[in-house]
Amino acid sequence: MSLPASIEISSAQPARRGSHLVFGLLYFSEGAPIGFLWWAMPTLLRAEGVAIERITALTAALVLPWTLKFLWAPLVDAWRGPRWGFRHWAAGAQIGMGLALLPLVFIDPAEAFGWWFFLLLTHAVFAATQDVAIDALAVVAVEPHERGRLNAAMQVGMLAGRSVLGGGAIVLASRGGWPLVMGALIAAVWISLVVLLTQVDEPGRDETEPKRKFGRTLRAVLSRRTTWFGLGFALLAGAGFEATGALAGPLLVDLGVPTETTGWFFALPVVAAMAIGGIVGGRWADRGPRPRRVGQALIGLSAAVMAVGLAIHLGAAGTTVMLWLGMVYLGIGCFTASSYALFMDLTDRRLGATQFSTFMAATNGCEAWAAGTAGYAVASLGYGPALMVMAVVGLAGLWFLRAVTQPVSDEMRAG
């Protein structure tokens, strides 16, 4: 499939087939930093002997910008006019992401960890803003019946970025050290600038319209029960798989799996499993009642997490645990594509940046509390019981999902 010359983004226009590829490429630049921060860095730190509690605390701290991005997401909706749209917000954020990482090419984290933490946090703020803008484009660009497949395409792009700078960063670090890793990360982030500036043509919008209607629309959205039950689901349902993701690297290290083997595991089998799960789950979610599909995906995913916990508790070898983890990542792909499509269904198109970003911030909030809680649970209970407990907690999200039986109609979203 060739890349189209231009894609017109409009709330009244259905997405063309090429838009799936474009958004997949844009999501590549989102996945690269996430792969480094949440996959590579915890594994490398654990290999150097850093305590599991400290690793999970650092990971939770770097998730905060994605968790709190809903606080400035309204600016992306409100400050949008003929000369500055979602595309410009995303491009500016990508430039900031790369500039924040540039000094880290020359700074040793062991000697100046404070600077690393500050610059990574700055980078995360820009990355979260980019996420807001790209998701807003996706909400207004694609018709409801294609949202599952769109999220599958975006997930594949995200996973490609995670592979290159997640598991791949572990391999790069063993060969060229931190400068090579950071240089590759900056290149990955700035690749999508070309896509934004040449492949996405966002039409202008009346400069006074967002300011005039924003407050009224926001009040209407806040009065809908689907908004609040959707947020509850996002904050709770991912507990099991978020805990697994935060613990997987350190777990394999503690089971005696070589660090480089762990890197290849994250770079290839994990990414392939999530991509396959996303493609299958996205198409599956477009062919039935979305809440029911999401619930079924959550049940299957939680069962896989419990199986991993049970295998660890029974003393399974590292290679066996890796096989079970592969099933978890397959379930993660299916659940993510279907649940994100549901969040798009619940989003009012007039608040594409604000509302959808709030749902995404809630999912990142789930990752933050689940990662931190899982670290302390492992210290008290061990890896196996901790994962099984977190999987049960995630199943409580089904209660919120049952209340989301009547998504906001497309006419209401179109305004």
Residues in contact with 192: Cβ distance below 8 Å, sequence separation at least 6, in sequence order: 25, 26, 28, 29, 94
pLDDT reported for residue 50: 63
Please tell me the predicted confidence (pLDDT) of residue 110: 63
Residue 7 lies in a domain: no
Specify the CATH number for the domain of residue 247. 1.20.1250.20
CA dist list (Å): 254 to 60, 259, 391: 21, 10, 21
Domain of 137? Answer: 13-410
First to last CA, the chain: 34
Query: What pLDDT, on a 0 to 100 scale, did the predictor assign at position 405?
Result: 62
pLDDT per position in the chain (415 positions), as tens? 333 333 343 343 434 445 777 788 888 888 888 888 777 877 766 766 666 776 777 777 787 887 788 888 888 887 776 677 788 888 899 999 999 989 988 877 767 767 877 888 898 899 889 888 888 877 776 677 777 877 888 888 887 887 777 777 777 777 767 778 788 888 888 877 887 777 666 655 544 454 557 777 777 777 788 889 999 999 999 999 899 988 888 888 888 888 878 878 877 888 789 889 988 888 888 887 888 889 999 999 999 999 999 999 898 888 889 999 999 999 999 999 899 989 988 888 777 788 888 898 888 788 888 988 888 888 889 899 999 999 999 999 999 887 776 544 443 444 4
Specify the pLDDT at position 408: 44
Extract long-range pairs of 41-45: CB within 8 Å, 24+ residues apart: 42/246, 42/249, 42/250, 43/170, 43/249, 43/250, 43/252, 43/253, 43/259, 43/262, 43/263, 43/266, 44/170, 44/173, 44/259
Q: Please give the pLDDT value at position 204.
A: 52
CB atoms within 10 A of CB 193: 16
- CA 116 remoteness from chain centre: 22
Determine, yes or no, domain membership for 304. yes
Query: Can you read off the two tokens belonging to residue 122?
Result: 């700055």
pLDDT confidence of residue 48 = 62
What is the number of domains present in the chain? 1
Q: Cα separation of 113 and 169, whole Å?
A: 19
Closest CA to 344 of 333, 334, 359, 332: 359
